[in-house]
Amino acid sequence: MSKTNNQNYFLLFLLLIPNFLLANAGSPMIWFSFLHLIWINFIIGTFESKLLAEKFNLQNRKWLIIAANYVSMFVGYYFIAPHFSLVNGYPDFWGMKSGVGQYELGGFFIGFLYSFGATLVIEFPFYWLSLKTKQKGWKLLAPFFLVNLFTNIIMLTIYFAIVAFAAKWN
C-alpha cells in the first residue's frame, strides 16, 4: 500500500474515531467543531482563496478569505445552527444531551442549512473586499457561491459522517 493511501486511511480514522469512543467529555460534533474553528478554517480559507485565483482568475487577499471563514463559522455553527435547530423542534444540535441512537438528523440538517445561508451573508463583504479587481454581476457572485458551496458540501459530509452512526432519521 502506498504512503498516500496509508495517510488517507489514517485521516479517515481520525475523523471517524469520535463515533467509536463514546466518551462523556462532550459530543464528537462539538469537539470536531473546535478543531474546525481553530485549524480547519485556515485550511478552508487558503483553499478557497486558491480556487478563486486559479479557477476563476480572481486575485484576492487570502487573509480576508481566511478571516471570513473564521467569522462565519463562529456565528453560523455556534449561534445560527443551534438556534434554528431549536426553533424547528430539535433542541440538541450539538448532541450534548442525546444518547447513542437518539440524536435527530432533522435538527442537524436544518441547522446546517441555515448556517450555510448565514455563511453566504457573512462572508460576502469579506470576499468583495478581498478582490484586487472588483467584478460585477454574475462574474462577482458565481465564483463566490460555487466556492462556498463546494467547501460547505465537504464540511457537511464530514459532520454528517461524525453524527450519522449514532443518529436517527425522524
Per-residue tens of pLDDT for the chain, all 170 residues: 577 777 778 877 766 666 555 555 556 677 777 777 888 899 999 999 999 999 999 999 999 999 999 999 889 888 998 898 888 888 877 777 766 666 777 888 888 899 999 999 999 999 999 998 888 888 889 999 999 999 999 988 988 887 777 666 66
Supply the DSSP string of 105-157, one letter for each residue.
HHHHHHHHHHHHHHHHHHHHHHHHHHBSS---THHHHHHHHHHHHHHHHHHHH
- pLDDT of 101 reads 62
pTM, entire model: 0.77
- pLDDT of 13 reads 75
Cα 85 from Cα 72, distance rounded (Å): 17
The three cell numbers of residue 43 are 485550511
E strand or H helix at 104, and its extent? strand 103-104
- Hunting for cell 485550511 — which residue is that? 43
Cα 18 from Cα 23, distance rounded (Å): 8
The three cell numbers of residue 90 are 430539535
